Structures are given as C-alpha cells and as structure tokens.
Structure 1
Amino acid sequence: MKVFRAGMALAGLMLAGCQQAPAQAAGGTIEAVNHTRWAINHFSVNGQSGIDIIGPHQGGGGGCCFRAPAQWQPGMTVKIDWETGIGDTDEFPGYGNREAYLAWERKIDSSRKKHSAIVLVPDYTGQKTCGITVHFLPCDKVKVTTSCHIYSDPQYPVKEPLRMPEPQVCPK
C-alpha cells in the first residue's frame, strides 16, 4: 500500500510539472527556402539545426524540431544563424592538379560568411502551426512563417519569388 501511495504521489508531482510547462502548439521540422544566388551551408533556428545545405534558389532543411508557443504574443522572435557561400561548383577543377584544386578551395573558403538575425514571428493566432520555414532573401534579410501550407500554395503567407533580383548595393 505504501508503494502504491508513493507511486501516486510521484505521478501527481509529474502531472503538476507538466501542467506548469508552457503550452505548446503543434510542432514540426525546420525548413528553409533560399531566394538568393548563394548557398546556405548551414542554418539554425534558436540554436536548433536546419540540417541540409540549401543551394541557390532551392528549398530544403528538415531539422527537428520547432514548436511555437500555443499563444502568439506580439514581439515574438526567433534567432536565425546561417552561413552563406558559393553555391555553384561549375569551376571545380578536380583533384588532378593540386595547385588548381587548392586555389579553388581557397576561393570557396573565402566566400563563406556567417550571419545572424533576430526575426519577428508573424501572428499565427487562430491558425494551425507546423514547425517553421525560414526564407533567406537578398541582402541578408530573413522572413519566417509557421504556416502549414507549402511555398507553392496560394494561401502560403510569404509571396516573394524564388529567384529574387539582388541589388548591386544593399540598403543599410
């Protein structure tokens, strides 16, 4: 009987702890759409990896997991960290000429740039949420959405085209 009571007390404490945790909306994967001519070598949302390399003008990701709070609050943000680099390997010289390969490798390495942005999460009140999709835009701009619609769906909230023109000089 003592074991039963102790077990019930422990279960009650565990249940109380779960009830005190903040309510979470439905979760899902961390995806991305790259609207730029640069490759996204890697990216993360609040420190959680988005997994895949995403080529220029492509989608990808698949990291696990992002859960939006059940209630959207004004001013909600996420931190996006990412690294860009050359997305085109047409100039790859092969491994036969070591000097040409090393020069190509230096060019690839010198093109890598680290970025970070704090991004507002759009209002999802009254909508189902499905993970998060990060949109990498020209001039190192970023948008996010928790929409369950896919990018090609007319109801998808981000309307920027996949191939966006990039200005010669980005506004400050």
Structure 2
Amino acid sequence: MKRSLLSPLLAGLLLLTGCSQPAAQAGGGGGTIDAINHTKWAINHFSVDNQSGIDIIGPFQGGGGGCCYSVPARWTPGMTVRIDWESGEASTEGFPGFADSKKYREWRDKMKENDRQHSKTVPVPDYNGQDVCGITVHFLPCDDVKVTTSCWSPRNANYPIKEPIRMKEPRVCPK
C-alpha cells in the first residue's frame, strides 16, 4: 500500500519540479530581456513577444532585466520577435514638485503628450553554433529596433550590433 501511494506522489513531484525548470534547459538558450536605448527619448516600458522587459530606460542608457527569455535550440530562417514599446519625454524640465498637486498633474499631462506607442516585428539573427544569453533589444532612432541573443558584452569587439550609443535622429526618417 505504501508503494502504491508513493508512486503517484513521486510522479506528481517530478511533474511540478519539471515545470519550474527554465525553457533554456529544454535545449534552447535563455536569459534575461535587456535593452540598450540609442535615442534621446525615454523607453517607458517594452516587451518582447508580450514578455515584459521590466525597466524604464533613459536616453542613451541600458536596462531591462525581465526574466526569463528563451529561444528554441535551433535558429531557423524567418524567425522573428515582436517588440512593443512606449517612448516618451525624458526631461524633467519644469517639474514643479509634488506639493501642489494641480501643478504636478498639469506638468505630468504635458509630458505624457509626447508618449508614443510602437510595435515592430524584427528578425532574430542566426544563433546556431553560438551561446545564447536571453535577448537584448536595441532601440534606434526613427523607431527602429534590432535584437541579438549574443552573450558578448556590448563593449566587446565581438558584439554583433555596432551602432554607437548616442545616435542622432535624422530630420526625416526613412519609411
């Protein structure tokens, strides 16, 4: 009788512990969702395939840290991710403080006038034969984005995205 009770309990425990294992251990690669902002705008929030990147990212900064992002064990041609984000005013110019709530709300509403929603589906570069460390989203001028699954630091010469951190937005963006 003890053995018949132990087997279902053991099976249930194994199923539950299997659910908590990161997808990366299933043969793909995984890590955090990070971002680098190459623009003068703040990134108020962002997501990759509807999974939050967590952080607000200021102009010309990095951030993110959403957990956890994984990719399939093998890259296939045509693989894409959908990036959704909101950009907005990065300046605190004219901030009246919180003491006068009416002035604060007016200032906040003025800042929110610059908030813009974006969505873009972008290709995932070939990562076959490479270590994969989550995904890093690069926010570029003209509402463009690039992604990489590289484990290299952006400061390393082997890092695949070479755009400078401080990029100027052209007067007219290509369509």
- TM over 0.5, shorter chain: yes
**Number of equivalenced pairs:** 167
TM-superposed CA distance for 1:91, in Å, is 2.5
2:86 aligned counterpart, secondary structure: strand
Partner Cα separation in structure 1 for residue 157 and residue 94 of structure 2: 38
Once the two structures are superposed, residues 24-44 of structure 1 have per-residue CA deviations (whole angstroms, 9 ceiling, x without a partner) of 422100000000000000000
Instruction: Give the alignment of 1:60-99 within 5 angstroms.
Output: 60-98=63-101
Q: What is the alpha-carbon distance in structure 2 between the residues aligned to residue 41 and residue 105 of structure 1? A: 14
Percent sequence identity over aligned pairs: 60
State the partner residue of 2:52: 49
Counterpart of 2:32 in structure 1 is 29
Query: Helix, strand or coil for the counterpart of 1:167?
Result: coil
Query: 1:45 touches 1:81 (CA, 8 Å); kept in 2?
Result: yes
What letter is aligned with 2:86? E
Gapped regions of structure 1 (runs ≥ 5)? none
CA distance in 2: counterparts of 1:91 and 1:159, whole angstroms: 35
Cα drift, residue 82 of structure 1: 0.3
RMSD, aligned α-carbons = 2.7
Q: State the distance in 2 between where 1:5 and 1:28 align.
A: 35
- Offset at residue 101 of structure 1 (A): 2.8
Residues of 2 paired with 1:43 and 1:5: CA distance? 46
| CA distance in structure 1 between the aligned counterparts of 2:70 and 2:101, rounded to whole angstroms | 47
8 A Cα contact 1:71 1:125, kept in partner: yes
User: Superposition pairs for residues 4-153 of structure 1, below 5 Å?
Assistant: 7=8, 23-98=26-101, 100-153=103-156
**AA of the residue aligned to 1:3:** S
Counterpart residue number, 1:3: 4
Q: Do structure 1's residue 170 and structure 2's residue 169 form an aligned pair? A: no
TM-score (norm 1): 0.86
For the residues of structure 2 that align with 1:130 and 1:121, how far apart are their CA atoms? Answer: 13
* Residue ranges of structure 2 left out of the alignment (5+ in a row): none
